[in-house]
Structure 1
Amino acid sequence: MRNKSKSRPEHSKVDWRNLVKDGESFRKFKFFSARFEFSKLTNCNFSAVSAKRSCFIKADLSGSDFTGANLEGANFGGANLTNVNFKGAVLKHTNFENANVVGANFLNASIKMAKKLKLSDAQIREIEEANQAQKDRTAADLAARKAKKSLNQ
């Protein structure tokens, strides 16, 4: 009997060094320990991928989208990450040593345990402002719920 579940396309441990693609979609792919060193993967969709321990050393990923990706333990050493979207990505133990992160979006990403990530003052300010806005929305929502509850009593 065939399994009809929608599983992630499996590309774990694949060796794609020096691969050149522009605008390709890898959405929801599984890339555990995959190798992308020196690849040029510009404007590609890596949203919701699982790329734990994958290697992107010196890769050009400019303009690509890693929204919601699990990149735990991945290595972006020396990579071009200009204008890359890491919104909501898991970046625990992810290495960014010497990576170019100019214009990259790290909103709601788990950057606290990322290694050697050097953000600009503007990026830090953007993250802090987004976090404060979220806290304000949560406080306003809680106050509205309390007010509604007291009216219903």
Structure 2
Amino acid sequence: MLPKRRKGLSRLSVFYRKTKFKQIRNKFYSKAQCFKADFSSTYFTNVNFKGAILTSCSFKNASFSQVEFLGTNLKKSNFKGASFKYCVFSGTLMKKTNFSNCRFEKCTFVNTNLEDAKNIVLDSSNIVLTHHPSPVLDDELQTLVNALRFNPKLQNSRVLHLKGGKINGLTMHSLIDRLGIIRLKVGLKKLDGDLPYRVVTANGLCNAIDRASRSV
């Protein structure tokens, strides 16, 4: 079970059975615990599995879009035939995890031992990093980013700022890579701290900034 009274957390505990959900969207499943659960053909969109334990589970033919596996334990789970797009795997445990016939598109792998996984194949659209990136921000960008540190729609997910206020280097790397410095600054200025929804993933934040940068 998840700890009580933690704002922004969603609960997910499934053991030895098939989930009743066909679509799971916009959830912060930090510390979720599932064992031998069946998520076959389930659609996951904009979900954060930070610190979750999802072992010996079935994700056959599931779809993952903008999902983050941060320090997630996926040992012995089966993802055969699943698809992943704009997903992030950081410090993910994949020992004996089956990825046969999976499709990965524009995903990022950081400090994750891919050799532990079974049958994983990545094309050139994906990024593999051995260490967490630490992009250097100019004073203006750092000020714009720090203005969001205590935003109630963002603070609890640790997407932009880690514990203690340190800027999340992996998120910043993703934002700069996808938006560029100029559009990132424009979007942050136009948002002016007014996020349109609760942010639980780096991609969710990127989408909000991107839309703001394009607004008239």
State if a TM-score over 0.5 links the two structures: yes
Q: CA deviation at 1:116?
A: 0.8
Percent identical:
26
Which of 58, 76, 80 lines up with 2:79 in the alignment?
Answer: 76
TM-score scaled by length of structure 1: 0.72
Instruction: Indicate conservation of the 8 Å contact 1:14/1:31, yes or no.
Output: no
Question: Aligned to 2:44, what secondary structure does the other structure show?
Answer: strand
Name the stretch that deviates more: 24-33 or 7-16: 7-16
Would you say the 8 A contact 2:107–2:125 is kept in 1? no
Instruction: Name the residue aligned to 2:19.
Output: 16
Structure number with the higher strand fraction is 2
Give 2:60's match in structure 1, choosing from 57, 61, 82. Answer: 57
The 3 A distance-change label for structure 1 pair 46 and 14 is: farther
1:50 partner letter = I
What CA deviation, in whole Å up to 9, does each residue of 1:40-91 have, x standing for no partner? 1111111111011111111111111111100001111111111111111001
**TM-score, normalised relative to structure 2:** 0.52
| Residue number in structure 1 paired with 2:111 | 108
Task: Show structure 2 runs of 5+ residues with no match.
Answer: 5-10, 134-216
Mind listing any 5+ residue stretches in structure 1 that lack a counterpart? 134-153
- In structure 1, distance between residues paired with 2:104 and 2:61: 13
CA RMSD of aligned residues (A): 2.5
Report the alpha carbon displacement of residue 12 of structure 1 after superposing the two structures with TM: 2.1
Asked whether the equivalents of residues 86 and 109 of structure 1 are also in contact (C-alpha less than 8 Å), the reply is: yes
Amino acid at match of 2:92: A
Equivalenced residues, count: 126
**Which structure: larger Rg?**
1
Matches of 1:100 and 1:9, distance apart in 2: 25
Paired with 1:105 and 1:85, the residues of 2 have a C-alpha distance of 5
User: Given the superposition, is the C-alpha separation of residues 17 and 85 from structure 1 closer, same or farther in structure 2, using an over 3 Å criterion?
Assistant: farther
